[in-house]
Amino acid sequence: MVGYLAPDRGPDRGERVVATPAAGRRRGPGAGDVSGILVTGGTGYLGSLALEALVRAGGPAAGQRPGTLVSLDRRPPEAPIEGVTYVTADLRATDLPTLLAEHEADAVVHLAAIIDPPPGMDETTLHDIEVGGTRQVLDACLAVGVDHLTVTSSGAAYGYSPRNRERPLKETDPVPGHPRFAYSRHKAEVEVLLAEARRSSPQLGQLVLRPGTILGEQTDNLITKLFTGRVVLGLSDTDVPFVFVHDRDVAEVIARGVTERVTGVLNLAGDGVLTLREIAAIEARPYLPIPPALLKGVLRLLRPTGLVRSGPDQVDFLRYRPVLDNARLRAAFPGLPRLTTAGCYARFREAHRG
């Protein structure tokens, strides 16, 4: 297992990756020369939205042959999308080169990830899924000659440290992860794998996406629970900034990235910032800022009892939120994102009223 990556060794230090359509490989809807597209994690929350966007952008609905848009996920779809071929299997147990060859896939979208591990999942298994799965996808793409790979990394790859308070983070900033957050640490390891592949195998075009907090009308997770309690808990030494990006904007970036063969590393974030203090005011709920040292002490006492899932180290998740610069996103995808951070939250709030 790869260890914690030092902050001064971001994978793209000294390497310029520009988000522009790959020369000679631009393929818009109806162009007729896109073969197959494989989406891992295709029955998940983001995967389903990405498949819908791909169908609209130029999948089977645009006249391509059946079977060119393939979902690979261990879970069957709750609501199958017309024109999508579903393969229900664990990525780690799948012969990916054979699957890619069978469907003549020349593009892969790798979305399979675990943000909130189920109780009982150990670190080794989680690492195998997050990092090992990405390595497996990379190897398969190179083995069969796939020419475009989209991977969702995360703003969490930047880690949670005091430098995040200095300014919005750009794609050229280091991505060290955080030593005690598995998700953040694994995303940093994945970024190293991808950067190494860009250098050694430039024939595989990559679009690496680092979203902030993805928020949509139906989003329901540990982060949204911060906003919906009777009291909004914060920290006394920061107002806890969040940058949101709408889930359908993310799906649109993925679809356009594939069909237009965009390559590069992109932050995904709506314009502006909303702090927990501002969210509490919007919701007309009390805002309770807690000293970080006190919160760490409480979590240290409660974690062994099983009453809370967070440990003291996770206070950094709130204390040093990464705010993402989205200038490169806007340049690569004119018109996106459609919603600002405040607009994302307004949509979420309207859907959850009552």
Find out whether 226 and 196 touch, Cβ atoms under 8 Å.
no
Q: How do strand 287-290 and strand 232-235 relate by DSSP bridges?
A: parallel
Mean pLDDT by 10 residues, the chain (354 residues): 32 46 39 74 96 82 63 96 95 97 96 83 91 97 98 98 96 96 95 98 98 96 90 95 98 96 98 98 96 91 75 88 98 98 97 78
Task: Report the residue count for the chain.
Answer: 354
Cis peptide before 337 (omega within 30 of 0): yes
Find out whether 208 and 266 touch, Cβ atoms under 8 Å.
yes
- Domains and their CATH numbers in the chain: 20-214+244-270+324-337 (3.40.50.720)
Supply the DSSP string of 67-98, one letter for each residue: T-EEEEESS--SSPPTT-EEEES-GGGS-HHH
Q: How many helices (H) and strands (E) does the chain have?
A: 12, 14
> Which amino acid, 214?
I
3-class DSSP string for 125-188: HHHHHHHHHHHHHHHHHHHHCCCEEEEECCHHHHCCCHHHHCCCECCCCCCCCCCCCHHHHHHH
Which residues are CB-neighbours of 293 under 8 A, at least 6 positions away?
A: none
Res 185: pLDDT: 95
Q: Is the pTM of this model over 0.85?
A: yes
